[in-house]
Amino acid sequence: MKILSAEQMRKWDEFTILNEQVSSIDLMERAARQCTKWIEDRNPGNKKIKIFCGKGNNGGDGLAIARQLAEKEIISDVYILEFGSLGTDDFQTNLSRLHSFPVNIHFIQHPDFFPIIDKGDLVIDALFGSGLNRPLDGLSADLVQHINRYSSKIISIDLPSGMFADKPTIKESVIKAEETLTFQQLKFCFLFPENEDFFGEVHVLDIGLHPGFLITGNAMFEMTDQKIMKEIYKPRKHFSHKGTYGHALIIAGEKGKMGAAVLCTRGCLRSGAGLVSAMIPEEQFGVIQTAVPEAMAIAQETIDDVDLSKYTTIGIGPGTGTSEESARLLQRVLINYNKPMVIDADGLNIIAANEELLSELPPGSILSPHPKEFERIFGKTENHLERIQTARLQAQKLFVYIIVKGHYSFVACPDGEVYFNSTGNSGMATGGSGDVLTGILTGLLAQGYSAKESCLLGMFLHGLSADIAVQAVSEEALIAGDIAEYLGKAFLSIARY
């Protein structure tokens, strides 16, 4: 699914109007109808409804919703933010239509006209939509702050008023919605962790925009889905053997951190690698051979004597520590291995302390930092948008794939494309889940998936496995081992799609 800018969404509306020969007011009616149905299905009939409207098209949506609710004998109070000028054409048309229904219409010209909002009221925010390009101030900001003071339920239409669609938002004057009804596509702003407190639960309503636009429109950002995964996924061949699916080398663990090595190795095996060797401290052999008997063990101390070229790919970093010995280990790998590999955790921290190692990365390699690790390597960023932009530039500069982990983890690709992952849940906020991802990515590379395919499929499987696991264990009880354990069901979900 492509993630479009506010301007691209506006052009999609225009494309639909032109190619379906539908008027803009009828398209607005279509969008409002979806909102009305959603509200009617989920709103107890005894709640009083207050709809706050600006005088743009977002306000026009609010007026249409008020009329459609009235047609179902659900009467609301409408409050229009008034600045003494006419609204958009579609707003004015909907205002004229609304006058024929028993809806109380109030015009707010001063804070004295702000209504009292009871705790049990349902507030519908249709003040400002995705076209907003400057922070709210004056009466608009005062009204937003007034609405936020009450503990009533707020539903925002398209996006919370005061929030920018494509860039970081000034938080002082943004509606704090419990739920947001957005149209057709997930907006870019919903991917920013800084905005989480404002949009609540987001519901994407299909309003029937013409699908042909997505064929012609260019989008820098895209959201992964089952359809993309099905296209990437490669079913196994009947006459294959363990050598068909590569030999992965996992370099991980030190005393006290062998759990990371175990989780990473399990993730690699569960993702389908034919053979997996774990390079660990020799005194820890008993741990890996007991916990993961399917893997072979190699001593890290023998790195100088190992022919790394025989491995299809390498995953390095989880739990290795950042000592001089660990730094030397990573340096030896980078000097002697020239195929795409996966670097995570302490491997990234070593690179952050030795920036010259960035130039040694094999082309097409995958870095998978969490935000703090990302900033240690590439510098502090002021917000998530800047982090995305920095990752994109660095991926192009270094010709590597950079996965930044989090809710809606994203991968920045060397060709400039950025993909956001659609799977996963907050149960994954637990130690070791990143180690499992490193193993999955390494296992997919070992099987012959390209670096880009490994990133997209790996992120998706990682999150999907957790989504399946929480149905059995809950988000609170989820541990990293569950993610590896449920990978089989995640694969089955993609295979059966």
Residue 44's pLDDT is what?
Answer: 67
The CATH number of the structural domain formed by 226-495 is 3.40.1190.20
Reading across the β-sheet that carries 179-183, which strands appear in turn? 104-108, 76-81, 49-53, 122-126, 153-157, 179-183, 201-205
Q: Is the pLDDT of residue 475 over 80?
A: yes
Q: Is the pLDDT of residue 171 over 90?
A: no
Residue 142's pLDDT is what?
Answer: 97
Mean pLDDT of 274-280: 98
- Residue 488: what are its φ and ψ, rounded to 5°? -60, -45
Q: What is the largest CA-CA distance in the chain?
A: 86
Q: Provide the pLDDT confidence category of residue 461 given band limits of 50, 70 and 90.
A: very high
CATH architecture of 2-219: 3-Layer(aba) Sandwich (3.40)
Beta strands in 229-369 (DSSP E): 247-251, 275-280, 296-299, 313-316, 342-343, 366-367
Same fold, 2-219 and 226-495: no
Tokens of 393: 């530039």
Alpha carbon distance 355, 378 (integer Å): 9
Mean pLDDT of 290-300: 97
Q: Provide the pLDDT confidence category of residue 173 given band limits of 50, 70 and 90.
A: very high
Mean pLDDT of 27-37: 97
* Strand (E) or helix (H) holding 3: strand 2-3
pTM: 0.93
**Segment 88-147, tens digit of pLDDT:** 999 999 999 999 999 999 999 999 999 999 988 999 999 999 988 899 999 999 999 999
Q: Provide the pLDDT confidence category of residue 47 given band limits of 50, 70 and 90.
A: confident
* Strand (E) or helix (H) holding 182: strand 179-183
**Per-domain boundaries in the chain:** 2-219, 226-495
50: Cβ–Cβ under 8 A, 6 or more apart, which residues?
A: 76, 77, 79, 115, 117, 121, 122, 123, 124
Mean pLDDT (the chain, rounded): 95
In the block, tokens 């997996």 appear at 276
- Give the pairing type, strands 410-412 and 366-367: unpaired
